[in-house]
Amino acid sequence: MTSAGIIQRNRRFIFSIAIVALAAGISGCTTTDKTTTGSIAPAAGTKDTFPAGNFDQMNEQQLLQASTSLGTRYQSNPKDKPTAIKFATVLRMTGRSDQALAVMRSLAIAYPKDREVLAAYGKALASSGEFEAALDALRRAQTPEYPDWKLLSAEGAILDQIGKTGEARDLYRQALEIDPNEASILSNMGMSYVLSGELSTAESYMRKAVAAPGSDSRVRQNLALVVGLQGRFDEAETIAKQELSPQQAQANVKYLRSMLAQQNSWNMLKDRNKPKG
């Protein structure tokens, strides 16, 4: 199997643990935290028990508790936009992508032209593997005269998953023109180079992402992944330990070693990454 074949074979694996920038919120539609992908602030004058930006800090038990509470709120009013979007987010994070998509599909019917809903619907579609439909929803959410970097980066991440690398990187560059120091865009660009086997370039982008304002745990874990993919497992584990427990970091690196050992994929990746000349 060629190195390109190995990359393609593991494309879903890499994206499932690393891609970070499918945007659930859009500036101008609701108050969003631009440093945290998909965060949606509570409506003015309300107390929100589950601000979406906190979901990434929750453990599995907390996420399950949040899904139960949000599910109850959603059932009482399925057209409550903030609740439905947050409920769908938690459903995705607990592995229930089909249910999340059903929630967002219903909301998209109720709000067919709402850009925030279309963006969240696109994320739900992408999480369920419906990439073409996801692209359509994200493009309908975009406004060409005032492009939103989150949507550009989100669209790029989907294009990378379906092998349209050149188009994806063009979108990341457009997004970086809007916000040159946004960590999630830089991280997605780095992952794009991972998927084409250009690991040195990938690491360069990932280190820029880690150094950028707003860099979070997911971005730093992406750096650990790229370093590990180059066979520097001790260094990868050291980076991962900054975000995870020593046991989790060790388990992640062990799994990465196992993945790269399959069909001699590590040697193929290493050969692909050697300087030409």
Residues 70-106 have pLDDT tens digits of: 999 999 999 999 999 999 989 988 889 899 999 999 9
Options 3.40.50.2300, 3.90.1300.10, 1.25.40.10, 3.20.20.30; which CATH number does 1-21+164-277 get? 1.25.40.10
Give the residue with greater pLDDT, 26 vs 256: 256
CA distance 106 to 80: 11
Average pLDDT of the chain, as a whole number: 78
Q: How many CA atoms lie within 13 A of 207 on its CB side?
A: 8
Check if CATH label 3.30.420.590 holds for domain 24-147.
no
pLDDT of residue 177: 96
Confidence label for 161 from pLDDT (cuts 50, 70 and 90):
confident
Query: Do 1-21+164-277 and 24-147 agree at the fold level?
Result: yes
pLDDT of residue 23: 29
C-alpha dist (Å) from residue 1 to 91, 262, 265: 36, 11, 8
Q: Which of 94-103, 105-114, 200-209, 251-260 has the lowest mean pLDDT?
A: 251-260
Max Cα–Cα distance, the chain, nearest Å: 65
Residues 6+ apart with CB under 8 A from 89: 24, 38, 52, 55, 100, 120
Give the residue with greater pLDDT, 192 vs 8: 192
Residue 266 pLDDT exceeds 60: no
- Mean pLDDT over residues 185-191, rounded? 93
CA distance 194 to 203: 8
For the chain, give every domain's residue range: 1-21+164-277, 24-147
0.75 cut: is pTM over it? no
Give the tokens for residue 213.
């304002």
Q: 148: how many CB neighbours lie within 10 A of its CB? A: 22
Residues 6+ apart with CB under 8 A from 53: 33, 36, 38, 39, 40, 41
